[in-house]
Structure 1
Amino acid sequence: MATINLSPLSTSSSSLRMLSSYPTQNTPTLSFYSRFTPSISFSSISVRPLTSIKLKPRSLIIASAVKNISEIESAPFPVTPEEFAAKFPSEAGVYAVFDQNDELQFIGISRNIAASLFTHKKSVPELCGSVKVGVVDEPDRAALTQAWKSWMEEQIQTTGKVPPGNETGNTTWTRQPAKKKPDLRLTPGRHVQLTVPLQELIDKLVKENKVVAFIKGSRSAPMCGFSQRVIAILESQGVDYETLDVLDEEYNYGLRETLKQYSNWPTFPQVFVNGELVGGCDILTSMYEKGELADASSSENPSKSLTIYGVAGIIRLLAGTYVLLITSRKEVGSFLGFPVYRVESMKFLACNEALRYSNSQEKRDEAYFVTLLRIVEATPGLYYSYETDITLNLQRRCKLMEGWMSKPIWKQADPRFVWNKQLLEELIEFKLKLKDSPVTFTLISRRCTRRLGTRMWRRGANLDGDTANFIETEQLLELEGFRCSLLQVRGSIPLLWEQIVDLSYKPRLRVINHEQTPEVVERHFHDLCQRYGEIIAVDLTDKNGDEGQLSAAYSAEMQKLPNVRYVSFDFHHVCGSSNFDNIHVLYDDISEDFEKQGYFLIGSDGNILEEQKGIIRSNCIDCLDRTNVTQSYLAQKSLDIQLRRIGVFSSTESISMFTEDYGKFRTLWAQQGDEISLEYAGTHALKGDLVRYGKQTVAGIIKDGMSALSRYYLNNFHDGIRQDALDLISGRYTVSRHKPSPFQLNSFETLSYLPVASALLLGGLTITSVTIHQAGRNAQQYVTSVVWAGVTAGFVALVKANGRQFCSRPRLCGLL
C-alpha cells in the first residue's frame, strides 16, 4: 500500500492511500473510457450445438429470495465500504444477520442490501458476524414483504421464536426517525423591514447549521416529489437538518429568487452541507446510494486519510486545485487477458483553502463549479485498466511498433477516447508519480471526447469536423489462440445543425448555413479514412419532415466525396416498429463491400492472417436506438464469418441457430446500447427489444414510453447543467479569474418564470373546468367558461411560443 502526501498542494496534511501493487516508478496513469462490456466465455463452440455462455457470477452469496435460509451460503461481513459494494448487491431483497456465534439476530428487508448491511456494520458491529442474502427479482412492495415473511416463518418453525432484533419494541437494527423539527423562518414577517440583507441571512443560516434543505413546502408536507425525496433521504439517514419553505411568501418573502443568486443554482430543492451547496435531489440521491451522505453530514471530524484506487486527474478552479480520486471500483472483465475495472464512485478533493480570499461573485461562481464537479462524480460507465491501454483496438495495437507499446500507458492511448484527458495533462506535464474450447467474446465502445456532450446540446459537427456522440465499437473474439476484431463507428451527421429544446416533444431541426460546411464534412471523413480505410456511411434517418431535410443536406454534401460510399436507408419506413428482419434489405445492399472490408485476425502463432480494410459508419438522429439495432445486426453477420474462417462453424451454420447463446449475444449488445444511451440521452436506449429478441414486446413498448418521457424531462430541464459539467471537466471551458463570470453573461433568470407559468396554466385549466361544470346548471356561465378557456388557450400559446426561455440551457459554452 503506497502513501501519497498532498501537503505540498494543501494547507492540510491529508494523505491518500492507494491500493496498488506497483512501485512508485511504474505507477500507471489511469485513463477512463465510456463503455466496456465484460467478456463472456462460450463453454464450447463446434459444429455441434453450443452449450451455454458462462457469465462471471456477481457473488456466490447471492441467492434467490424464494430459497430457504438454510439453503443459502453465509458470508462474513466485510470491513470497508468498497468491499461491501463488491461483495453484496445494491438491489432490493431480504437478508439475515448472524452474530459471531452463528446465532440469527435479525431478518431485514431493504431496497439497497449493500447499503443496509454497511449501516448495520457501523451501528452494531458486535452483532454482525455473517449474513445470508436473497435478491428479489421484481422488488415491488408485495414481493419484498412476502420474501421477508417466508424467512420469518421458517425461523419461527425452526426455533419457535422470532430473531431478537425483530421482537416488538427492539430498535437495535432500525434507525429511529429524528424528532420532527419545525421549519425555520428567515424573517419575522413579510411587512417587517429587514436591517440585514436577505443574502447575508441565508449565508449565516447555511454556515451555522450542519445541513440545511431549502424545499418546496414544509418538512411534514413537501409540495413536490423532489422535495419529498430529499426529506425521505435525510430522515432515513437520521441526519440532524433544518428546512426552509421557499414557497412561504409570508415569512420567507424573496427567498426563492435571492437563493438562486446566492447559490448560482436555478432549481429546488437545494441542500447545503457544512456551508457548501451539495446540489438537488439527483445529487443527494447519488450520495445516498453510494453511502457518502452519512460521512458528509457526520458531526465527527472528517478522516484525514482516504483509501483510493487511483488518481484520475487534477482540475483548477477559482479557489485552487481539486484532485479526482477513485474511491470504489469493481472488476468487470478482462481485455486481452488484463483485468478491466468499472469506476463505482469518485470524489473530488480540495487541496487548498483559497476561497476565503475570494470576493462574493467568485464565491458564487466557485459554488456552481463545485456543484458541477459533484455531477461529474456521479458519471456512469467509466472503465480503466492498470496494466493495458483499452483505447486501442486490436488491429492498431498489433501494427504499432514494439517500442510504442513499451511507452507509458498515457502515451500509448488514443486521446479521442480518454475521458479524463484534460484532467491528466497537469499530472503528465509535471511528472507526478503515484505508487472443451473456451471462447471469449468482448464488446468495448470508446467514446470520443472532442465533441462531448448531452443529446440536445451537442448535435452535428464542429468546425474541425468532430461529431457529437462519436463512438468506436470493437467486437473481440478469442478462441484457441486466435483473436478476431471487428470495428464499427457511429457519430452524429457531420453537418452544422442544431435542435434546441423548447418544451415541445420533438424540437425543430435546423441546418446551419455556413460557408465552411463542405470543409467540415471533408475534414470529418478525411480523418476517418486516414484511421480506418474505406468508409461506408450508412444514414438511417427518415426521408420526410425535418429529418428528411437534414438527410437531404447530408446526401448533397456526400455527393462531393467520391471516395466515400453513402447509403441512405429509411429505417422507420422499411422496418417499421416491429419488422426487424427487414434490416436484411440494408445488408443485401452493402454486404459485398462489408465483406470486402473484412475484419482483423491473428493466428495462434501470432501472425496477422486478415486485416480490416475499412469501416461502417452508422448514424440516425441521436446515433442511439436505430444505430444500435443496425450495428448489432452487422456484428452478428461478421461473427458468423469469423467463426467459419476459424473452422468452428460450417458454411451453413450461424450463431442464430444456437438459441441460448444467440440470446446472450443479443443481450450483450442491448446492454451496451443502454450504457451509451445513458451517457448521451440520460435514459436507456429505445428499441432495446429489437436487439434482444428481434421484435418488440408489450413490456418493451411500455419501457420505451417511460424512457421517452424521461428523455423529455431531462432534455428540457436538466441537460443544460449536465452540459456545463461536461464542458468544465473536458477542458472546453477553462476557469480563470481574468475573464468575466459566465453567470453574469449567460443568466438563467428566465427559468424563474417556469413555476409561475405552471401555476397560471394549472389555475386556468382548473377555473375553466369549474365554470364548465357550473354552466351545465346555469346557462349564464357559458360566457365565463368561453372567456376562461380562451385565456387559458392564449396562455398555452404564449408559453409554447417562448418555450426556449423555460428550458435548462448551458451557461459556459456555445453550441459549436
Structure 2
Amino acid sequence: MAALPFRDINVHASASHYAFTSPSSPSAPTLVVDRPSGDLRLNDGVLLGGKRVSSIAGILGMIKLRLDKYIIVITKAQPMGRLKGHMIYKVIATEFLPLRERPLHDQDEDTYLALLKALIKSGPMYFSYSFDLTNTFQRQSQLDPSIPLWKRADDRFFWNRFVQSDLIDFRISGTRHQQGQQSGVDPYILPVMYGMMEIITTRVKSTPLTLVLITRRSRHRAGTRYFSRGIDEDGHVSNFNETEQIIILNDSASGLGGFAGGGGMQNGKVGGSGGKEVQIMSYVQTRGSVPVFWAEVNTLHYTPKLQIRGVETAVSAAQAHFAEQIRLYGDNYLVNLVKQKGREQRVKEAYEQMIKMLVTSPYEGTSEDSRSNEKFHLVEPGSRQQQFDRLHYIYFDFHNETKGMQWHRVQFLIDQLHDALEKQQYFRGVDMPADLEGRLEVRNHQTSVVRTNCMDCLDRTNVVQSALARAAINRQLTDLGILSRGETFSSDPAFEILFRKIWADNADVVSTSYSGTGALKTDFTRTGVRTKAGALQDLRNSIMRYAKNNFADGPKQDAFDLFLGAYLPTTSSYLVFVDQRPLLIQSVPYIFAFSLFFVFIGSFTRRLPDAAVLPLRIFILFWLAVAAWCANFIIRNGMLYVNWPKLNPRPWATEGYQEAISNVRKDKVIGGLVARHERGLSTARYTNAEEGKKRIE
C-alpha cells in the first residue's frame, strides 16, 4: 500500500533547523530542514534540542524569495465532507517559517510575502490525505494505487507543484550527504488542488445519493482576466478548468462523521456501504481560452483594445494543446460561444481559421433558423486519418439565440449535440469487493469531452456547461432506473434547486478567481429564469470587474507568477515594486482628487451674507477646469494608470507604456516637464521583471 501523506505533523524549531515528525507514525523518519541553508535530510530518530512549536495539517511547500527561503505550512484546514469515504479539506490558514531571522525589513521581501499570503488566503485550495483530488475517477481507475499520492497527481492540477519542488527533488535524487531516492519523504509531500469543491448528500425520488462537483484550475498559464489570454508557446491556454460532476450511490460514508478507528485514523478513509454496491458515475467537461495568440489591452476604457497575432504563428502551440486534450479525453467537441458580430468576431474567425488548419479536408456546414443567419457553424473532418480529425468545432451564437432573456433556447445547442453526447457516454464504476485500496471495477468509460469557451470562459460558458451537466445527470439517473424513460429530475423540485445552486456556486468560484467578481447570468443558473434583479446584479458585477481588472489585478497576477514559479526572485532584483513613473504623471490622479475636493468645499460651504460671490465662482471654475484637464489626461493616457503586473511584464504593456510616454512628451501643458525628468524611467518599471523572465527561459 502506498505511503499516504501524514495527517498529523509536529514542527520542532531550533536555531539550527526545523524538524517535522508525525506522532501517529513514530517509526517514520524525521524530515529536517537545516537553517539557514535550507538543506533537506531525513533523520531516523527525533532530533534533540528543538522545542515543539506547533501541530500542522501539512506542508504546502517551500519558496525562495529575494533574501530568504520560507517553509509554508498549513496551520488550519476545514473538513468539507467525505468523497467515497475519504475526508476532503479546505486550506483555511497558513504560516511562513523563515530560515533566517531577519533583523531588518526589506521592502521587496515584505511585498513578496504579502502577495503570497493574499493569494493563499483568497484562493480556494483543497486537499485529501488519502484521495487524489487532481484526477477524475476515470483517470484514477487507470492508475496504480500503490504509487505515492503526489506521484499519481495530474501535473496540470497539482497547484503547489512548484513550491513542493525542493521536497520532490530531494525525494528523487537526495543530496550529497543522503544520495539516491528518499522514499521517506513521500508522506510529507501533500498535493493541493485549486478550484471549486462541493459534496452534498441528497435524494432524488426518495433514492439517497451523493452529488459532488469538482472544478480543477490548471496551474499552467494561470492568471487574471486581462493579463492572461489565449495560448502560450507550450500549448497551455488561459483559464483552463476541468469540471467533474459525480453521483455516488449507496455511499454511507459521505458525511462529516468520525473515523473508523485504526487505519482510518491514518488515511482519513472510512468504509461501509451496508452491503450494497457503491456506484460512481462521473461526467467531465473542460473550458479554456481560444487557443490563438491574442490579448485585450487595458487602457481604462470599458472595452479594452483587442490584439490578435497571425493565426499561422500559433499552429504549433495549438497542436500541442489539442494533442494533449485528445490524449487525455478522446474526441473533443469544441463549443464556441463568442459573438459573431462586433469586436468578438475577430476572435471567432481566428479560432475557426485555426481549426481549419488542424483538421484535414474539413467539411463545413451551417444550420439556420428564422432568428439568426448563423445559428450553428460546424467544422467536421472529411476523413478519419489524422489525430486532429478528432476535433469537432461547433459554433453557437449564444447572444443572438438567447436575446430577450429567452435562455431556454440553450437547449437548441444540447439538441444539436445529442448524437455526440449519446456516443460520448460517461464514466461508471463500482467498488471492488474487499479491495482495501478502494479500486473500482469499471463498467463504462467516457470517450470524449465537450470543451466550451466564450471570451472569458466564465458566464456564457457556465450556462452551457450546466445545461450539458443536466443532460448527463438525467441520462445517468434514467440508466440507474431512478427516473423513467423521458422523465427528468425537474420532477423533483428539491433536487432541481440543489442542482441549480451547486452550478451557480461553481460559476461564482471560477469567475472570482479569474475576473475578481462572481459570475454574470447566475440568476438563470440558480432559478431557471432571467430576471431584472439578476440583470442589475450583473451590472454591479461588471462595474466591479472593470475596477478590479484595471486597478487591482496587477498584484494578483504577480502573486500567481510568484507562487507558480513563473517568476524567480533574485538578490539583484531590488525595488521591483517601486513606481518608476515620472512624479508628475503619478501626481495627476491626486491633483484630480484635490480639485474635486475644492469644488465640493466651494459649492457647499456656507458663506457670509455680505461676502462677494465672484471670487468664489472663479475659485470653483478654476478647480473645475483643473479637474477636467486631469480627467481628460488620465483617459487619454490610460495605460499609464493601469495597475500592471511588475514581475512578468506583458509585451503589450511595455509597448503601450512607451507609446503613452512619447505622447505625454508632446503634451502642451506638461510635455516639457516630463521630457526633462523622465530619463530612463519608461523602461525601468519593467527592467527587474525582465531579468527573472529571461532567467526562467
Q: Separation in 2 of the partners of 1:412 and 1:491?
A: 24
SS at structure 2 position matched to 1:737 = coil
Mark the CA change 1:304 to 1:475 in structure 2 (over 3 Å): closer, same or farther: same
Q: Separation in 1 of the partners of 2:613 and 2:349?
A: 57
Fraction of identical pairs, as percent: 32
For residue 803 of structure 1, the aligned residue among 634, 638, 651 is: 638
Q: Does residue 474 in structure 1 map to residue 244 in structure 2?
A: yes
- CA deviation digits over 1:716-746, x for unaligned, max 9? 1111011111111101111222566644797
Mark the CA change 1:375 to 1:788 in structure 2 (over 3 Å): closer, same or farther: closer
The one-letter code sitting in structure 2 at the alignment partner of 1:642 is Q
Task: Provide the residue aligned with 1:388 in structure 2.
Answer: 131
Q: Does residue 558 in structure 1 map to residue 328 in structure 2?
A: no
Q: CA deviation at 1:798?
A: 2.2
Preserved CA contact (<8 Å) 2:67 2:571: no
Mark the CA change 1:640 to 1:498 in structure 2 (over 3 Å): closer, same or farther: same
Q: CA deviation at 1:796?
A: 3.1
Task: Provide the residue aligned with 2:164 in structure 1.
Answer: 424
Task: Provide the residue aligned with 2:87 in structure 1.
Answer: 339
Greater CA drift, 436-445 or 457-466: 436-445
Preserved CA contact (<8 Å) 1:750 1:805: no
Q: Separation in 2 of the partners of 1:489 and 1:614?
A: 11
Q: CA deviation at 1:700?
A: 2.7
Listed as ranges, the matches of 1:135-534 within 5 Å are 305-353=53-101, 355-356=102-103, 363-400=106-143, 404-431=144-171, 432=185, 437-480=207-250, 481-513=278-310, 516-534=313-331
Q: CA deviation at 1:4?
A: 3.2
SS at structure 2 position matched to 1:685 = coil
Mark the CA change 1:745 to 1:786 in structure 2 (over 3 Å): closer, same or farther: closer
Q: Separation in 2 of the partners of 1:768 and 1:621?
A: 46
Q: Which runs of 5+ in 2 are unaligned?
A: 1-7, 32-50, 172-184, 189-205, 251-277, 360-388, 433-439, 605-611, 652-697
The RMSD of aligned alpha carbons is 3.4
Task: Provide the residue aligned with 2:685 in structure 1.
Answer: none
Task: Provide the residue aligned with 2:571 in structure 1.
Answer: 737
Q: Separation in 1 of the partners of 2:542 and 2:518?
A: 9
Task: Provide the residue aligned with 1:691 in structure 2.
Answer: 525
The one-letter code sitting in structure 2 at the alignment partner of 1:593 is A
Q: Separation in 1 of the partners of 2:186 and 2:414?
A: 50
SS at structure 2 position matched to 1:343 = strand
Preserved CA contact (<8 Å) 1:469 1:680: yes
Q: Does residue 3 in structure 1 map to residue 7 in structure 2?
A: no
Q: CA deviation at 1:609?
A: 2.5
What TM-score does the superposition give when structure 2 sets the normalisation length?
A: 0.69
SS at structure 2 position matched to 1:440 = strand
SS at structure 2 position matched to 1:417 = coil
- CA deviation digits over 1:553-584, x for unaligned, max 9? 11221222222111111222211262220101
Task: Provide the residue aligned with 2:3 in structure 1.
Answer: none
Preserved CA contact (<8 Å) 1:460 1:495: yes
Task: Provide the residue aligned with 1:585 in structure 2.
Answer: 412
SS at structure 1 position matched to 2:219 = coil
Q: Separation in 2 of the partners of 1:373 and 1:565?
A: 40
Mark the CA change 1:433 to 1:592 in structure 2 (over 3 Å): closer, same or farther: closer
What TM-score does the superposition give when structure 1 sets the normalisation length?
A: 0.59
Q: Separation in 1 of the partners of 2:97 and 2:540?
A: 37
The one-letter code sitting in structure 2 at the alignment partner of 1:617 is R
Q: Separation in 2 of the partners of 1:428 and 1:540?
A: 41
SS at structure 1 position matched to 2:248 = strand
Q: Which runs of 5+ in 1 are unaligned?
A: 29-302, 771-776
Preserved CA contact (<8 Å) 1:15 1:304: no
Preserved CA contact (<8 Å) 2:91 2:125: yes
Mark the CA change 1:24 to 1:586 in structure 2 (over 3 Å): closer, same or farther: farther
Preserved CA contact (<8 Å) 1:666 1:693: yes
Higher relative contact order (CA 8 A, sep 6+): 1
The one-letter code sitting in structure 2 at the alignment partner of 1:456 is Y
Q: CA deviation at 1:778?
A: 10
Q: Does residue 705 in structure 1 map to residue 542 in structure 2?
A: no
Preserved CA contact (<8 Å) 2:595 2:624: no
Preserved CA contact (<8 Å) 1:14 1:304: no
Task: Provide the residue aligned with 2:400 in structure 1.
Answer: 573
Task: Provide the residue aligned with 2:551 in structure 1.
Answer: 717
Mark the CA change 1:748 to 1:631 in structure 2 (over 3 Å): closer, same or farther: farther
Q: CA deviation at 1:380?
A: 2.8
Q: CA deviation at 1:598?
A: 1.5
The one-letter code sitting in structure 2 at the alignment partner of 1:755 is P
Q: Kindly tell me the number of residue pairs found equivalent between the two proteins.
A: 526
The one-letter code sitting in structure 2 at the alignment partner of 1:566 is Y
Listed as ranges, the matches of 1:80-99 within 5 Å are none
Q: CA deviation at 1:321?
A: 1.5
- CA deviation digits over 1:213-268, x for unaligned, max 9? xxxxxxxxxxxxxxxxxxxxxxxxxxxxxxxxxxxxxxxxxxxxxxxxxxxxxxxx
Listed as ranges, the matches of 1:40-189 within 5 Å are none
The one-letter code sitting in structure 2 at the alignment partner of 1:340 is I
- CA deviation digits over 1:500-550, x for unaligned, max 9? 222222322221347522222222212111111101111111122221221
Q: Separation in 2 of the partners of 1:491 and 1:608?
A: 29
Preserved CA contact (<8 Å) 1:17 1:306: no
Q: Separation in 1 of the partners of 2:627 and 2:18?
A: 60
SS at structure 1 position matched to 2:55 = strand
The one-letter code sitting in structure 1 at the alignment partner of 2:637 is N
Q: CA deviation at 1:797?
A: 3.0
Q: CA deviation at 1:793?
A: 4.9
Mark the CA change 1:305 to 1:475 in structure 2 (over 3 Å): closer, same or farther: same
